[in-house]
Amino acid sequence: MHPRFALPRCNVDTARGRSRDPGMLFKPTLATALAVLPAALAAPVVEERQAPCQAVRVFLARGSVEPYPGRQSKIVSAVCSGLSSCGYEDIQYPATYENYCSSVSTGIANGIRQLTAYAARCPNAKLVLTGYSQGGHVVGDILGGGGGNFQGCTQATSAGLNPATSPGNKIAAAIRFGDVRQAGAQSYNTGTGAFGNGIWRREGSQLQSLNRFSSVLRSWCLAGDQVCNTAGTLDPRAHTSYFDVFSTEAGAWVKTKLRL
C-alpha cells in the first residue's frame, strides 16, 4: 500500500486529492493495471487565459488514476528551481485505464490544443512536455502520432506535431517515464530498461515520426518495470519509483535543453 502524498505547488495553484497507485502492471497487458488505493480525482485549476506569459512552460500528462498533477510535481519543481519565470499546466484528460484508448485520445487532442494555444499567446516561451505511464503514451503520441488496435483497445488515429512549425518547434524538451509505448534501444532511452519494449511497442511510421524529436527527447525505463520493459523480471516498486530516483537528473537534463 502506498500512502497519500501531498501535492506541491509550482507557480500555479493545484487541487488536492487522494490517489490510487497508477502502478504496477504485473503482466504485460493493459488490462492488468493494478490500483491499490481508492481514487478521488480532483479537478485542476484551469489557467486564466490572460495570465502573464512565462519563459518556460511545462505541460504535464499524469499517470493512470493519479490526481492532478500526480508524482510529476517533483519534475516541475526540479525544472523550475532557480528559474525566475517558469510554471506548468496539466494536460486535461481522464487518465483512466477503463476505456484506456479513449482516455489517451482525449489527452492527445487536449494536449495539442493546450500547446497550440500557449505557443500562440506566448510565442517566446520554451515548452516542456513530461509524461508518466499512460501520460508517457500521451506525450509520445502528441509528438509522433498514434492510433491502432491493441488487446481489444481501439485508439483513433492522430498525427504527431511537426517539429518545424508551431507548437512543435517551441518544444525545448520532452521527457517520459515508464512509457507504455517504449520502443527499445532508441537513442533517447535511458535507465536499466532502456533496451526493453513497452506493453504497446511503438513501431513503423509512428516511431519514425516520434524520432524527428529525438534531439529533445529523453525516456526513462527501469528493468523491473513491465510497463516499459515487458521482458524484465518484475520489481513491484519500479513503476512508481521514478520520481524519487530521477527527478533531479531529469530536471538537470531539461535545463541543458532550455539553454537559459
Is the pLDDT at 241 greater than 90, yes or no? yes
Percent of the chain with pLDDT over 70: 81
Secondary structure of residue 253 in the 3-state scheme: helix
* pLDDT at residue number 97: 86
Secondary structure of residue 218 in the 3-state scheme: strand
Average pLDDT over residues 178-197: 98
Distance of CA 61 to the CA centre of its chain: 4
Topology at the third CATH level for domain 30-258: Rossmann fold (3.40.50)
Q: How many other CB atoms are found less than 10 A from the CB of residue 248?
A: 14
Domain boundaries, the chain: 30-258
As a whole number of angstroms, the distance between CA 197 and CA 180 comes to: 9
Write out the three cell numbers for 221. 525505463
Average pLDDT over residues 176-201: 98
**Class of residue 76 by CB neighbours under 10 A (exposed 0-12, middle 13-18, buried 19+):** buried
pLDDT in tens, 141-172: 999 999 999 888 999 999 999 999 999 999 99
Residues in the chain: 260
pLDDT in tens, 213-231: 999 999 999 999 999 999 9
